[in-house]
Amino acid sequence: MEKAPDTCASNEKCLQTAKPKVAFFDFAGCEGDQLQIANLEEKLLDILAHVEVVSFREIKTGHSDDYDIAFVEGSITRPEDEERLKDIRSKAKVLVALGACAHIGGINCLKNFMGETFYRDVVYGPHAGWYRTYAARPLSAVVPVDAAIPGCPIDRFEFARVVKELLLGRTPWLPDYPVCVECKMAGNICRFDIGRMCLGFITRAGCGACCVTEGAHCWGCRGLFPSANLDAARQVMDRSGFDRRRIQDLLRFYLGDTQAAL
């Protein structure tokens, strides 16, 4: 299994207090990842026995700037976002990117392939000139990130596992193999065998191939697995008869901030 940079384990950042203080923050995103955490229900109570949540807008009132672990959702899309994120980073012993937008830039990076005038008009309409904005980017483009929980939305049980590993002073791991492995384990028919595109062969596993199992295809929301061969992936989709524009659009849907979108 691949490990993220071993900053947490080497510095023992997560075990400096008996009950670490945890805070949640959001930037450009739908907050669906935080909702997944709230959906842990009884399991959330188990987690709360070991941490003190000092800021979590979706489930509690109040806020504190005294925290050990910061879970941050959403991508960075404005200059002022950078300053706020840097402030969060300066206070947190550990910073975790929560979900696809925070981890890899996510759907917000679609704007990076459009003219600014166009997306301003679409999003803001007659007030297009009122707001500052720039190309979307993941948290890691602005500050060091200690760990990530991929997906759109995240898997709530993966979140629980990551919290446990942080509390034990371990660096959370992510699968280093593709979604195709989980697809085969689930007994799914390959999307290419039924004439559909799919990014499962370049996307990091860990979701249980849930989208394919439910009848859709893999969109790539968990980002690329470490040894993903993008040239081979494009050739496979090209040989399968898919239009180059469709291939490009699918690669850009979640992977717009990666080399896959080129």
Please list the helix, strand and coil fractions of the chain in percent, rounded to the nearest 5, in that order.
45, 15, 40
Element (H, E) at 3: strand 2-3
Do 52 and 22 touch, CB atoms closer than 8 A?
Answer: yes
For the chain, list the domains and their CATH numbers: 2-174 (3.40.50.700), 179-261 (no CATH)
- What is this structure's pTM? 0.89
Element (H, E) at 148: strand 147-149
Whether the per-residue pLDDT at 18 is higher than 90: the answer is no
Element (H, E) at 25: strand 21-26
| Per-chain mean pLDDT for the chain | 91
Q: What is the pLDDT of residues 167-226, one digit of tens each?
A: 999 999 999 999 999 999 999 999 999 999 999 999 999 999 999 999 999 999 999 999
Q: What is the pLDDT of residues 105-149, one digit of tens each?
A: 999 999 999 999 999 999 889 998 898 999 999 999 999 999 999
Distance of alpha carbon 50 from the chain centroid: 24
Element (H, E) at 96: strand 94-98
The pLDDT score that the predictor gives to residue 11 is 46
- Output the CA angle 84-172-103, nearest 5 degrees: 40
